[in-house]
Amino acid sequence: MPIIDRNLAEPLRRRLRHYPVVMVTGPRQSGKTTLCRTVLPDRPYVSLEGLDLRTYAREDPRGFLGEYRRGAVIDEVQRAPDLTSYLQGEVDEDPTPGRFVLTGSQHFGLTDAVSQSLAGRVGVLHLLPPGFDELGRFGGPPPSLLETLWTGAYPRIHDRGIPADTWLRDYATTYVERDVRSLRNVTDLDAFSALLRLAAGRTATEVNLSALAADAGIRHNTVRAWLSVLEASFLVFRAPAYRRNVRKRQIKAPKLHFLDSGLVCHLLGIRSPEELRHHPLRGQIFESWVAAEVFKAITHCAEEPRLRHFRAAGTEVDLVVDQGTRLILAEAKSGGTVAPRFFSGMRTLGESLERAGLAIDRRLIYGGDLLHRRGGADVVPWNRMLEKTWN
């Protein structure tokens, strides 16, 4: 099984030079354990997944930590949430940088424990499924666009050659039956599964809580809470509307994006890359893939993604990457042919923002293979989009 170099490795090393505790969170099976053990090959590793060690950490946290005075990588630490309170005393006594690395796949569980006890003592990083540039390090010929969208980016699919539809089916089942079942505010797993599939059908669209609630047969507030669960699990993210006052009738609803296109295809019942070719949601899936690639590229630089979208009367831009005094306006088109209308939204919004003194970079990410410039924008092939800087 190949061990690929992850982009987050260097930010992790930097954090280890400054904090006594570093926490690496992310979705299940994104490669957190492999990353930490690769960066710290000589550091003791202990997983709280096993009942014996989990019981030890819960019932005798002082004794457990006493076994690792020189530090350790502690995996699935959210399974012993009280451990972080005792870890506080340990690192206050010896604040040597880089002693402990905590990992966990349930961000919502880790956040509560860490915020109460390790504030100011911990560096926090998020590891998501590999970006397209990272996947290229597994070797082999580059996949086609449709194969890329359908397969997704979870490492085990690529490093073990597991059929994507098989692995993603098991992953979705495990997520609902194991992770979600542990949440107090999710009591109806069937309804939650239905919402998950409905949300997949709305990837790259503006969030309409009332419509989702009506289709799922659940309450509006329940939809809101469960979407927060999906965000905390790193399965989706919401891109807020860009709100600089350049249009009066601006749409302010956020856009929903799934972080893995393969999971979207699985949830929608798309059985092969070829079936995706003529699927009515191919354009939306591609747009979310582009947004997710940008989100991952920025996150894996240990920076906070500030992704927005824009829609006002007659003007739409798929993605606005907000960098303060500089904005990247991006459109995502899955086809291989570039049409003049693809540039109109970026041109209209960009001209308004330039008059306000902002620097604007326009990019069209498309399903073709020719890198060129047209209509005042860089036209970038899908498999070269990460050659551009997004942060």
**Does residue 4 fall inside a structural domain?**
no
**Distance of alpha carbon 131 from alpha carbon 364, whole angstroms:** 19
Residue 342 and residue 200 in one domain: yes
Residue 374 and residue 357 in one domain: yes
- Per DSSP, 121 falls in state T
DSSP alpha helix (H) spans, the chain: 9-16, 32-39, 51-59, 61-66, 83-93, 107-117, 132-135, 145-151, 155-159, 164-174, 189-200, 209-216, 220-232, 261-267, 273-277, 282-299, 344-355
**Distance of alpha carbon 24 from alpha carbon 125, whole angstroms:** 5
Could you say which of 102, 126, 150 is where a domain stops? 126
- Per the CB < 8 A criterion, the answer to whether 267 and 150 are in contact is no
Average predicted confidence (pLDDT) for the chain:
91
Residue 290 and residue 317 in one domain: yes
Range of the domain at 53: 9-126
Name residue 287's amino acid: E
When pLDDT is cut at 50, 70 and 90, the band that residue 360 belongs to is: very high
Q: Is the pTM of this model over 0.85?
A: yes
**Does residue 109 fall inside a structural domain?**
yes
Residue 321 and residue 354 in one domain: yes
**Distance of alpha carbon 327 from alpha carbon 335, whole angstroms:** 25
Whether residue 107 is predicted with pLDDT greater than 70 in this model: the reply is no
- The percentage of residues in the chain with a pLDDT greater than 70, rounded to a whole number, is 93
Edge-first strand listing for the sheet containing 205-206: 205-206, 255-258, 236-239
Residue 146 and residue 205 in one domain: yes
Residue 169 and residue 280 in one domain: yes
When pLDDT is cut at 50, 70 and 90, the band that residue 180 belongs to is: confident
**Does residue 1 fall inside a structural domain?**
no
**Does residue 2 fall inside a structural domain?**
no
**Does residue 355 fall inside a structural domain?**
yes
Residue 305: in which H helix or E strand, if any? none
Whether residue 364 is predicted with pLDDT greater than 60 in this model: the reply is yes
**Distance of alpha carbon 9 from alpha carbon 101, whole angstroms:** 13
Whether residue 232 is predicted with pLDDT greater than 90 in this model: the reply is no
Could you say which of 79, 110, 126 is where a domain stops? 126
pLDDT tens sequence across 250-305: 668 999 999 999 999 999 999 999 999 999 999 999 999 999 999 999 999 999 99
Residue 182 and residue 231 in one domain: yes
- Per the CB < 8 A criterion, the answer to whether 266 and 168 are in contact is yes
What total of structural domains would you count in the chain?
2
